[in-house]
Amino acid sequence: MKNCLLNLFLAIVLFVSIVFQLDAQSRISVYAQGGVLVGTPFGEIPEGATGRPGVRASTGIEMKWTATKIFSVHLGALFAHKSNEFQTPVTGKYNISDGILGIRLPFPINVKYTGTVQGAISNKYVDIPIYGGVQVGRRTMLTIGYQYSHLLDGQFDGTADVRALALNFPGQEFDESHLLREDDHAAIAGMHYLLFDQLEMRLRFGFGLNNIFTEIPEGMSSMRNLYLGVMLAYGFPL
């Protein structure tokens, strides 16, 4: 959390220092916004795997500096809940001495196992987007930029039904939440559409630039956040 607050502080200082150098024609607005994020941590999909993207709430505020009639700079801080559910086949090595005897022997007895994992990723972040906007019509703005995210609370767990030789081990619980990375980075692009007055509909697509895990869990691939935000934002000119 300290890294997140430091990055937010530095970004705000940079934004404010730029604003103080503007001429009198420049204008600042603050937007309150809320909506949903639709998407999933995405990676190489094993054959036979299925899943369901998360649909979660996102709220926050953004500052907009209107530099010219067609260009603006935006800085925000938003709460974002990013999640998914999945089911995937797995294979690997299993130490049957643990499963049969309930104790760990001085030497492992490893056999190949097959099975199915049902799990979920449920991560809560604070997102800090900074991006530029280009007005392409009276109501439409196109945007592109960068987003830093800090993990507030992460969960990656589920159950596995596995079979090794003639042995079945149903409902084996796992929790690999400790492997989730605290910091995430993304390229973002989107569109703002002015509905009326200061109310906007906003679309924002985020493509993760790094693996969400510090270490890739066994049987999985590198995964990155892939999300579409659908928001309503209302502006308050300052």
Kindly state the helix (H) or strand (E) to which residue 141 belongs, with its residue range: strand 140-164
Residue 82, classified by CB atoms within 10 Å of its CB into exposed (0-12), middle (13-18) or buried (19+), is: buried
- Asked if residue 171 lies in contact with residue 117, where contact means CB atoms within 8 angstroms, the answer is no
Q: Which residues contact 29 (CB under 8 A, 6 or more apart)?
A: 63, 64, 66, 198, 235, 236, 237, 238
> What is the per-residue pLDDT for 8?
57
> What is the per-residue pLDDT for 228?
95
Residue 177 tokens read as 């939440």
> What is the per-residue pLDDT for 135?
95
> What is the per-residue pLDDT for 222?
78
Integer distance in angstroms from the first to the last C-alpha of the chain? 30
**Spatial CA neighbour of 120 closest among 174, 181, 58:** 174
Q: Which residues contact 117 (CB under 8 A, 6 or more apart)?
A: 86, 87, 88, 89, 90, 158, 159, 160, 174, 219
User: Using CA atoms, how far apart are residues 191 and 214, in angstroms rounded to an integer?
Assistant: 32
> What is the per-residue pLDDT for 76?
94
> What is the per-residue pLDDT for 103?
60
Average confidence (pLDDT) per 10 residues, the chain, 238 residues:
54 56 66 93 76 90 91 94 85 63 64 80 94 94 96 90 74 86 95 93 95 80 89 91
> What is the per-residue pLDDT for 184?
95
Q: Which domains does the chain have, with CATH numbers?
A: 2-86+120-157+178-237 (2.40.160.20)
> What is the per-residue pLDDT for 193?
97
> What is the per-residue pLDDT for 24?
42
Q: Which residues contact 115 (CB under 8 A, 6 or more apart)?
A: 89, 90, 91, 160, 161, 162, 163, 169
